[in-house]
Amino acid sequence: MPTEREPAPEFDLVFRNATLLSPGDGPAERRDAVLGVRDGAIAFIGQALPQGARAARTIDAAGKVIIPGLINVHTHAILSMVRGVAADAGFAPSYTPGIPKGTQVNAAQARAIARLGALEALLFGSTLIGDNFVHADVTTEAMAGLGVRLAPSWRIHDVDFARVADGHWEYDPAIGARTLGAALDLAERWAGHPRVQVQLAAHAVDTCSDSFLREIAGLAAARDMRVNMHLGQSQVEVERVRARTGRTSTEVLDDTGLLTPRLMGGHCIYLSEADMARMARAGAHAVHIPKCNATSGRLAPTPALKRAGINIALATDTQHADMIELMRWALVTARVQEGGVADDWQPHHVFEMATLGGARALGQAHRLGSLEVGKRADLVMLDFRRPHLVPLVNPLGNLVHTGQGRDVEMVVVDGEILVEGGLPTRVDMDEVCREAEQACRELWADVGRAYWEPAA
């Protein structure tokens, strides 16, 4: 019997009767569990609430599954503007003639469309998005308004993008100074913000000259910033870099000082075994974007990346921002490549990529990416009473094989409920959709492709 009574714990938010799924070393699954949140962090996980504990709000999570917030490290929310078209045009929007480009988007349009892209990701359980594109000053503000965690950046390059779609790669130091300077200004403006970690999104090795890459590497090291790039994304990149430097993109990154644990390489389709070994040695991270890549008829050599020992994070890039569906894409495409079901491609592997893998890539694994006491309370609650998720024999198997972003009922970041009943708490969803639709109509009309006009 205790002689002195400890004060009963108080929680801001408690979930009872929940099934918890978490990646990492701890128990992967807990049923009928209690999870308590205090001061924005996970303060308690157990089978019963401590004696006398009080909670400002208690949620009965019977029939629900709670997972850590999904970490979507490579998105371009503004590119929602090319949804329904770019996926069938053959290549990345920045390189494709006839569709709206970042250079054509004004600030008001950027704000409206970025809110749409970020809201879509948040509603489907992404608690962190690593977003970069044009107008990042405006879009960071707009996306942060939803409450979602952000790793934003301007799109940094010194190539003249207005000419790339026409086949001309010309490097202009003034463009480099402008895009890099804007990214550094963004970092200064958001320094110390609890949910915003500005990074340096150098676009790609073909769109950044060697000297410019060296400058970015120096700044990233001096300021301990993450660098988020497209790496081995296209045959065009491979050929341009080979012609310019005589090397692979990975070799150029190594030579210019960018191949470090701070680097996230997006796509990683065109990498040799030697490139992968080099990445693994350097501790750089691969960002796997299976839906985008498969939609354009390509696949990253993910089984080989995994065998090389490279940390893999997942991202939706310009595609539908459903990270739950994306885990399935990552799993089944790897099985197609391996020619069967293997022990190293199981649901828990892709679940880890979608959570802890992203947290590691961002240097945030000590505070994000799993359900552990002491970590930030970034949580996603899904309704598992729906027909496609019954029976609950293996919740993780259900999540990865039949789950969808639309099954997300609640999203919590830093203990704050941002999505409840499948709807955002901070913004009006219909208004976000309306404004984005209007902005996209203007942009498509500007490139002469008004899909909304009836045929003459």
Q: Which residues bind Zn ion (CB under 5 A)?
A: 317
Tell me the closest approach of the beta carbon of residue 76 to Zn ion, in angstroms.
6
- 202 forms bridges with which residues in the sheet? 156
Beta carbon nearer to Zn ion, 137 or 317:
317
Beta carbon nearer to Zn ion, 73 or 123:
73
Q: In this chain, which residue has its C-beta nearest to Zn ion? A: 317
Tell me the closest approach of the beta carbon of residue 82 to Zn ion, in angstroms.
12
Beta carbon nearer to Zn ion, 120 or 317:
317
Tell me the closest approach of the beta carbon of residue 74 to Zn ion, in angstroms.
6
Tell me the closest approach of the beta carbon of residue 201 to Zn ion, in angstroms.
9
Beta carbon nearer to Zn ion, 248 or 293:
293
Beta carbon nearer to Zn ion, 45 or 77:
77
Beta carbon nearer to Zn ion, 237 or 317:
317
Tell me the closest approach of the beta carbon of residue 317 to Zn ion, in angstroms.
5
Pairwise CA distance, residues 419 & 408, whole Å: 9
Pairwise CA distance, residues 298 & 131, whole Å: 23
Tell me the closest approach of the beta carbon of residue 84 to Zn ion, in angstroms.
18
